[in-house]
Structure 1
Amino acid sequence: MGFRLPRVVNAKKLLQMSLSNASQAATNGADIPKGYLAVYVGDDQTEMKRFVIPISYLNQPSFQELLKQAEEEFGFNHPMGALTIPCSEDTFVDLISCLNSS
């Protein structure tokens, strides 16, 4: 019953880098890097957080479940102008951590 903290720490660092890259891209007006996708995550539309994730995550079954939820809630009209995922930020970070470790 051990915990794999190094992987979680690495995943958090990757997300922080993605967030800082996203902030710089938004500030500089630069595009998202090739092979990545911007998504907005949050339960409340007023407090959405932007993540830049690899496109390869779209093929993962657990991520596809989030996409189904997004489709049910928003259809194809995403209010943030990019893919919007209706889940808590903590849930999303946990999912990304699991995808990074596999």
Structure 2
Amino acid sequence: MEKGHLTVEVGLHNEEGDGGLQKLTMPVTYINQPYFAGLLDRAKKVYGYRSGAPGPLKLPCMVEEFIHVKSLVERESTGSQ
């Protein structure tokens, strides 16, 4: 993984236990962006907050939603330079 990036586990669990989870990477600085606040709030409600928990950050959303939020942050960061 590139320096300054983190792995996130994105997806929604379904009743069949399949999970449909996908591991993706993103720059760690994106976590501080307002666009990610909703995803982080949802993760806190679903998984709780456990400081130092092993494994990647889990975001309970569809992969498409994560990609959309990530693209908004990328578009804003390139537009402000």
Instruction: Please tell me the TM-score bracket, short chain as reference.
Output: 0.7 to 0.9
Identity of aligned residues (%): 32
Work out the CA distance in 1 between the residues paired with 2:61 and 2:26: 16
The 5-angstrom pairing of residues 54-65 of structure 1 reads 54-65=27-38
Of the three residues 46, 62, 75, the one matched with 1:73 is 46
Of the three residues 82, 88, 98, the one matched with 2:56 is 82
Q: Which runs of 4+ in 1 moved over 4 A?
A: none
Q: Is the 8 A contact 2:10 2:62 kept in 1?
A: yes
TM-score normalised to structure 2 length: 0.76
Work out the CA distance in 2 between the residues paired with 1:51 and 1:40: 6
Normalized per residue, the structure richer in helix is 1
For residues 60-92 of structure 1, the C-alpha deviation after alignment (integer angstroms, 9 at most, x for no partner) is 011022111101100135xx8211000011111
Whether 1:98 aligns to 2:67 is no
SS at match of 1:81: coil
SS at match of 2:19: helix
Offset at 1:33? Answer: 2.5
Offset at 1:40? Answer: 0.5
List gaps (5 residues or longer) in structure 1.
1-31
TM-score normalised to structure 1 length: 0.61
Greater gyration radius: 1
Work out the CA distance in 2 between the residues paired with 1:56 and 1:82: 16
SS at match of 2:2: coil
List gaps (5 residues or longer) in structure 2.
77-81
Q: Output the aligned Cα RMSD.
A: 2.0
